[in-house]
């Protein structure tokens, strides 16, 4: 699934739900996945901007 603002908001809601349920390891897993997606997005955007 592509990384979009609504998708990030949904993932944030998932993390808070997991934290509320006491599933801290699962919440950390979701956060790590989001972090990886953001790094990929950042690298791809940086490459595009470098061509300007």
| pLDDT tens digits, 22-45 | 999 999 999 999 999 888 888 887
Establish if 2 belongs to a structural domain: no
The structural domain count of the chain equals 1
Establish if 3 belongs to a structural domain: no
Q: What is the pLDDT at residue 52?
A: 46
Whole-structure pTM value: 0.74
Establish if 6 belongs to a structural domain: no
Q: In angstroms, what CA-CA distances link 15 with 7, 10, 23, 37, 38?
A: 12, 9, 9, 15, 16
Establish if 1 belongs to a structural domain: no
Per-residue pLDDT for 50 more than 90?
Answer: no
Establish if 11 belongs to a structural domain: no
CA dist., res. 17 & res. 45, Å (int): 31
CA dist., res. 31 & res. 11, Å (int): 8
Establish if 12 belongs to a structural domain: no
């Amino acid at each position: 699934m592509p990384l979009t603002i609504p998708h990030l908001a949904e993932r944030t809601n998932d993390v808070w739900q997991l934290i509320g349920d006491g599933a801290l390891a699962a919440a950390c897993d979701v956060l790590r996945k989001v972090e990886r997606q953001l790094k990929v997005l950042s690298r791809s955007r940086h490459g595009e901007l470098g061509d300007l």
